[in-house]
Homo-oligomer: A and B are copies of this chain.
């Protein structure tokens, strides 16, 4: 006998039964009145989740697709941009930017540290030595850096970017539906998220909230592409349809997930993730583990990165957890592969799941 898998990774999240049921429903035509009614419900639901009155574009893609979409739809080759880098996923902003011909400057902090307001302010201050037309057009940053478990001070960073005049382009993939996030109140211009994280869905949908300043930038954009084109997507969504065939089962499941999320409420969702985070951090510390992000103030509510012990390597711990208890925790990524393990506590995760995981790890230490 084997128990079902317990996924304690920073996405894909485990799935609520109502989501699984929705995914397995019979096929629905994407141009049917029934499907239109679902879009009439989920598109405002996404605005609710981002806390925005502006359009949230819905793509059949992973979050990376929406990251690329946000750059190609608002910037032009040669534009100078600043990327705040603190791990694999924030580095991706710089990689995508360079590949599409942007002139990318990075502020990079070591793994486990957060980007700081002070270094951003310095860079934006230095930028004023450039003529206005050659200043940073955008700053790309990451709310929760999934590869290290760092939560950047998004609200404060965005305030600096706003004062400078650049667009703020935010990866909120593992923060939306887990950490406090307020698109409009914080003045964020563009924010990207994905279905397989706080939304308690499988991967396959990406969400892109676009504020008015980003729409203005889009109008100046020469190569917005086709599939991810903001204008085409906005025009279709305005009449509650999609420009191309969307992944219907994921959108039907999104309706089910948003219903759960609204019932719980965003403040309770944020509080739940804070509780889970606190349990994981306290529990592992008590067992003698060292956390990669010792400072609670910059620790992600979605994932906790942990150094292994001398007598128990990260790969061994992960393998034993999986073999003996069918619990999956994530490996490190890039240079951290095999060096740390990451406990996800994101999405459809309860206190009971965290208790179980901590108790299982305790048996291995």
A315 CA to B176 CA, complexed, in Å: 42
Chain B residues lying within 8 Å of A248, measured Cβ to Cβ, are 12, 202-204
Least Cβ distance of A12 to chain B in Å? Answer: 5
Interface of A is mostly: loop
Q: Is B68 in contact with A225, judged by CB distance below 8 angstroms?
A: yes
A31 CA to B7 CA, complexed, in Å: 12
Q: Is B24 in contact with A203, judged by CB distance below 8 angstroms?
A: no
Interchain Cβ contacts under 8 Å between A and B, 6 examples:
A5-B28, A12-B29, A29-B330, A62-B227, A62-B247, A99-B229
Count residues of chain A with CB under 8 A from any CB of chain B. 56
Q: Is B24 in contact with A21, judged by CB distance below 8 angstroms?
A: yes
A217-260 at interface with B (beta carbon < 8 Å): 223-227, 229, 243-250
A126-172 at interface with B (beta carbon < 8 Å): none
Judge whether A11 is part of the interface by a CB distance below 8 angstroms.
Answer: yes
User: Given A23-B23, A27-B12, do A245 and B63 touch, yes or no (CB 8 Å)?
Assistant: yes
Judge whether A295 is part of the interface by a CB distance below 8 angstroms.
Answer: no
**When each residue 95-106 of chain A gets 1 if its CB lies under 8 Å from chain B and 0 otherwise, what string results?**
110011100000
Chain B residues lying within 8 Å of A203, measured Cβ to Cβ, are 30, 60, 245-248
**When each residue 5-34 of chain A gets 1 if its CB lies under 8 Å from chain B and 0 otherwise, what string results?**
101010111110000110111111111100
Q: Is B26 in contact with A244, judged by CB distance below 8 angstroms?
A: no
Chain B residues lying within 8 Å of A244, measured Cβ to Cβ, are 62-65
Judge whether A189 is part of the interface by a CB distance below 8 angstroms.
Answer: no
Judge whether A110 is part of the interface by a CB distance below 8 angstroms.
Answer: no
Least Cβ distance of A203 to chain B in Å? Answer: 4
Chain B residues lying within 8 Å of A60, measured Cβ to Cβ, are 60-62, 65, 203-204
